[in-house]
Amino acid sequence: MRVDFQNWVAAHQLRFEGVLQAFLPRPEISPERLHQAMRYAVLDGGKRVRPLLAFAAGEVAGANSERVDIAAAAVELIHAYSLVHDDMPCMDDDVLRRGKPTCHVEFDEATALLAGDSLQTLAFWLLAEHRLSDDAARQLQMLRLLANATGSFGMAGGQAIDLASVGQALTLPELEYMHIHKTGALIRAAVLLGAYCGSLLDAAQMEKLDHFGKLIGLAFQVVDDVLDCAADTATLGKTAGKDAIHGKPTYVSLLGIQGAREMAKRLHGEALETLAEFDERAGRLRELADFIVLRKF
Ligand code: GRG
């Protein structure tokens, strides 16, 4: 019998918490404070959207779930690192994340910086240490893919553009470029890495999944912009309304809230169309696309 979506999500979130616990350095091992900060930033919080996308894409590609766990953990560690650094005073300067004090508030700035750095390197260590594919060239390709999605041609590059765009009037294509990199690149990588752990898909199907990842990554950001102005801090677990306060260009500032909602709906439709040729094994990906666009937090 097929488990309903809510239960599938809950079961994977619970099991994956154990996977992350096992991969993170134990808190009593030296340097204790750094290891405690790394665990604080990763464990017990977050929707785990990127890992869920990797699990769902792994299902499409017939992947071994232990391999997908590694890929999903690597992506989530990169995501956690990005949140720790983004919250620091030199960037977004925020005090609340996932319903608790941000890492630099709970620990200190230097520890938060090192925790982010160490989470990033742990992610790449995981991909290098474990076998994720029977094809060594493909495994290298996976490392390359995550590096590109994370660095100056991906998330970090998008963040640099974001920081430079405060108070600027961006055009829609400029805003899209920024978000495809800042938020979209890692979401896209999560889908691809999950699929690369399996071997059922040909190049054309991988390209379809890549396009799905791109569309749903952008939709995620459009919804994030809407929630930043439509939801409250308690629901989001992070400070609401900051984009407008900081004069950040967003889909809401460019299109209005209704226009942004319509854009998310259009991207959602296009993402589902991209999956049209896949059979029921893509069911979880379709459900995740729905969740990403309909979510309230
Ligand atoms: C510091 C290199 C560097 C990059 C930071 C991801 C990012 C780039 C900044 C985070 C700021 C932000 C709120 C971006 C909007 C989209 C986003 C990534 C939201 C947070 O992701 P969720 O909603 O968070 O998946 P949880 O806590 O559920 O994991």
Instruction: Please state, in angstroms and rounded to a whole number, the distance separating the CA atoms of residues 236 and 227.
Output: 8
What pLDDT does residue 242 have?
82
Write out pLDDT tens, residues 153-187.
999 999 999 999 988 889 999 999 999 999 999 99
Instruction: Please state, in angstroms and rounded to a whole number, the distance separating the CA atoms of residues 252 and 246.
Output: 14
For ligand 1, atom 26: residue with the closest CA: 46
Q: Report which residue type is found at 242.
A: K
For residue 246, what pLDDT band results from cuts at 50, 70 and 90? confident
Domain total in the chain: 1
Among 179, 182, 295, 297, residue to substitute to test ligand 1 (most atoms within 8 Å of Cβ): 182
Does position 1 have pLDDT exceeding 80, yes or no?
Answer: no
CATH number, domain with residue 24: 1.10.600.10
Average pLDDT over residues 251-261: 94
Give the Å distance between the CA of 183 and the centre of ligand 1.
7
Does position 297 have pLDDT exceeding 90, yes or no?
Answer: no
Instruction: Please state, in angstroms and rounded to a whole number, the distance separating the CA atoms of residues 75 and 59.
Output: 17
Residues whose CB is less than 8 angstroms from the CB of residue 121 and which lie 6 or more positions away in sequence, other chains included: none
The closest alpha carbon to 12, from 25, 24, 3, 1, belongs to: 3
Cis peptide leading into 31, omega within 30 of 0? yes
Does position 241 have pLDDT exceeding 90, yes or no?
Answer: no
The closest alpha carbon to 45, from 110, 114, 106, belongs to: 106
Give the Å distance between the CA of 116 and the centre of ligand 1.
13
Does position 64 have pLDDT exceeding 80, yes or no?
Answer: yes
Contact 133, 197 (CB under 8 A): yes
Q: Which domain holds residue 58?
A: 5-293
Structure tokens at 259: 């226009």
Angle between helices 251-274 and 203-230 (to 10 degrees): 150
Structure tokens at 149: 């999605």
Structure tokens at 229: 């102005």
* Residue 101: strand pairing partners: 96
Give the Å distance between the CA of 221 and the centre of ligand 1.
9
Average pLDDT over residues 95-117: 98
What separation in angstroms does the CA of 11 have from each of 26, 58, 283, 289? 24, 16, 16, 18
Write out pLDDT tens, residues 24-59.
999 999 999 999 999 999 999 999 999 999 999 999
Give the Å distance between the CA of 279 and the centre of ligand 1.
31
Please report which residue ranges of 180-248 form alpha helices under DSSP H.
185-196, 203-230, 233-236, 242-245
Ligand 1 atom with least separation from CA of 76: 29
Among 83, 245, 297, residue to substitute to test ligand 1 (most atoms within 8 Å of Cβ): 83
The closest alpha carbon to 119, from 86, 142, 152, belongs to: 86
Ligand 1 atom with least separation from CA of 79: 6
Among 120, 183, 223, residue to substitute to test ligand 1 (most atoms within 8 Å of Cβ): 183
Structure tokens at 49: 């959207």
Residues having CB closer than 6 A to ligand 1 are 46-47, 49, 79, 82-83, 85-86, 98, 155-156, 159, 182-183, 221, 224
Instruction: Please state, in angstroms and rounded to a whole number, the distance separating the CA atoms of residues 100 and 110.
Output: 19
Q: Secondary structure of the chain: what % helix, strand, coil (to 5)?
A: 70, 0, 25
For the chain, strand residue ranges (E) read: 96-97, 100-101
Instruction: Please state, in angstroms and rounded to a whole number, the distance separating the CA atoms of residues 286 and 275.
Output: 8
Write out pLDDT tens, residues 9-24.
999 999 999 999 999 9
